[in-house]
């Protein structure tokens, strides 16, 4: 794949040359300079990777048992970059590229909902440079992907405390959500400024307020009502949660919703996560027996 050749070549360069390539020089958008922060240029150069998805592998899946909701913790961007002697932010850029191919594969194989953990409520603790780059990547992603996502019938949703984000990013998110709201294909849910505990607190506060106003009785609070007040209201719970990059923990992701999710882990860092990994995860999911606390109920 073109990106692999590119990064292979990058490995062979000295750190100072790599840093120059990374930082680039100011020139008009789309010019010849190497501004990898510009996702448009990135896409123009490496967009071919989208066509490079392996059709082989789909045949190992049972179309009747495709998980309705797949959620991914996109972990390992920093380690991926460090392994190549590149700044961490480089890994996030490569991570955004990896997401593109996974969205299109998930859509092709008929996954109903794909949720990607893009930024947690705890990620604000990272250096400003990294946080700013991530915010720019989200914004660029919406700018560059929205037309194609819309054409492919993808519905975009966002979960998290969106009030904590910059107004211009929030506006873009609202536009993307509204524009794609009528689409009936894959629901792509991006978790941005998301924390599972904060989500539960948010729901509990909303319900407590309704009790205070006398709109509902405390006994009327059921699991369904809590579900209806989560950011994910209206979406099915995740069937399969994928975490790349070796760590095996939930990291405050979809805490309520993951009660009966199946987990799939791989050592591959997120930027190296390819459609075949998604297919392998789903194939493994299809071999599992889900009992939901009951007895022997095949998925
Ligand atoms: C975790 O890896 C990843 C993140 C905190 C950010 C995920 C963001 C992207 C993949 C960018 C693109 C997203 C969109 C929606 C365009 P890490 O940095 O914690 O990796 P490490 O554990 O190796 O340090």
- The helix-helix angle for 39-46 and 128-151 (nearest 10°) equals 60
Query: Which atom of ligand 1 is least distant from the CA of 116?
Result: 15
Q: Whose CA is nearest to atom 3 of ligand 1?
A: 75
Distance 203 CA to ligand 1 centre (A): 26
Q: Closest Cα partner for 273 from 76, 71, 52?
A: 76
pLDDT at 40: 38
Catalytic residues: 75, 123
Exposed e or buried b per residue across 200-221, where buried means at least 16 C-beta atoms within 10 angstroms of its C-beta: eebbeeebeebeeeeeeeeeeb
Q: Which residues of the chain have pLDDT under 50?
A: 1-54
| Atom of ligand 1 at shortest range from CA of 247 | 22
- The DSSP symbol for 158 reads E
State the angle between helix axes of 2-11 and 39-46 in degrees (0 to 180), rounded to the nearest 10.
Answer: 110
**What local confidence, expressed as pLDDT, does residue 297 receive?**
60
Looking from the CA of residue 140, the nearest atom of ligand 1 is 16
Distance 207 CA to ligand 1 centre (A): 33
Residues within 6 Å of ligand 1 by CB: 74-79, 92, 95-96, 99, 118-119, 123, 134, 137-138, 141, 190, 245, 270
Alpha carbon separation from 154 to 57, 111, 180 (Å, rounded):
23, 11, 7
Q: Which of 95, 131, 176 to mutate to test the pocket of ligand 1 (most atoms within 8 A of CB)?
A: 95
What's the whole-model pTM score?
0.83
Rg (CA), the chain: 20
Domains of the chain with bracketed CATH? 45-287 (3.40.1180.10)
Pairwise CA distance, residues 268 & 246, whole Å: 7
Write the pLDDT tens digit of every residue in 115-136: 999 999 999 999 999 999 999 9
The DSSP H or E segment spanning 48 is helix 48-51
Closest approach atom of ligand 1 to CA 93: 11
Distance 42 CA to ligand 1 centre (A): 17
Closest CA to 154 of 176, 190, 110, 184: 184
**DSSP for 234-286, written as a single string:** TSPPPSEEEE-SS----TTSSTTGGGG-EEEE-SS-GGG--HHHHHHHHHHHH
Question: Beta 187-194 vs 155-159: how paired, if at all?
Answer: parallel
Contact 115, 194 (CB under 8 A): no
CA distances from 236 to 27, 205, 241, 260, 264 (A): 46, 22, 13, 12, 18
CA distance 10 to 39: 18
Q: How far apart are CA 229 and CA 218, in angstroms?
A: 15
* Distance from the alpha carbon of residue 162 to the mean position of ligand 1, in angstroms: 18
């Amino acid at each position: 794949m073109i990106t692999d050749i590119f990064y292979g070549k990058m490995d062979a360069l000295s750190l100072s040359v790599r840093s120059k390539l990374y930082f680039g020089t100011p020139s008009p958008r789309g010019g010849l300079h190497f501004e990898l922060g510009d996702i448009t240029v990135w896409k123009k150069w490496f967009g071919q990777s989208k066509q490079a998805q392996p059709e082989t592998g789909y045949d190992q899946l049972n179309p009747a048992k495709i998980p309705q909701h797949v959620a991914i913790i996109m972990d390992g961007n920093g380690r991926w970059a460090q392994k190549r002697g590149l700044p961490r932010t480089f890994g996030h850029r490569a991570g955004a590229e990896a997401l593109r191919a996974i969205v299109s594969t998930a859509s092709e194989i008929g996954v109903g909902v794909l949720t990607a953990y893009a930024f947690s409520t705890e990620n604000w603790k990272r250096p400003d440079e990294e946080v700013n780059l991530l915010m720019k990547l989200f914004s660029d992603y919406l700018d560059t992907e929205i037309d194609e996502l819309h054409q492919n019938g993808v519905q975009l949703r966002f979960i998290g405390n969106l009030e904590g984000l910059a107004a211009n990013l929030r506006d873009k998110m609202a536009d993307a959500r509204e524009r794609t709201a009528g689409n009936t294909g894959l629901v792509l849910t991006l978790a941005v400024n998301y924390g599972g505990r904060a989500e539960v607190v948010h729901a509990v506060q909303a319900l407590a307020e309704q009790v205070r106003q006398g709109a509902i009785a405390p006994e009327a609070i059921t699991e369904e009502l809590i579900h209806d007040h989560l950011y994910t209201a209206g979406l099915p719970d995740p069937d399969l949660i994928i975490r790349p990059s070796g760590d095996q923990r939930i990291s405050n992701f979809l805490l309520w919703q993951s009660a009966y999710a199946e987990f799939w882990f791989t050592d591959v860092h997120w930027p190296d996560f390819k459609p075949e990994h998604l297919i392998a995860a789903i194939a493994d999911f299809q071999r599992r027996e889900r009992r939901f606390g009951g007895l022997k109920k095949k998925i």
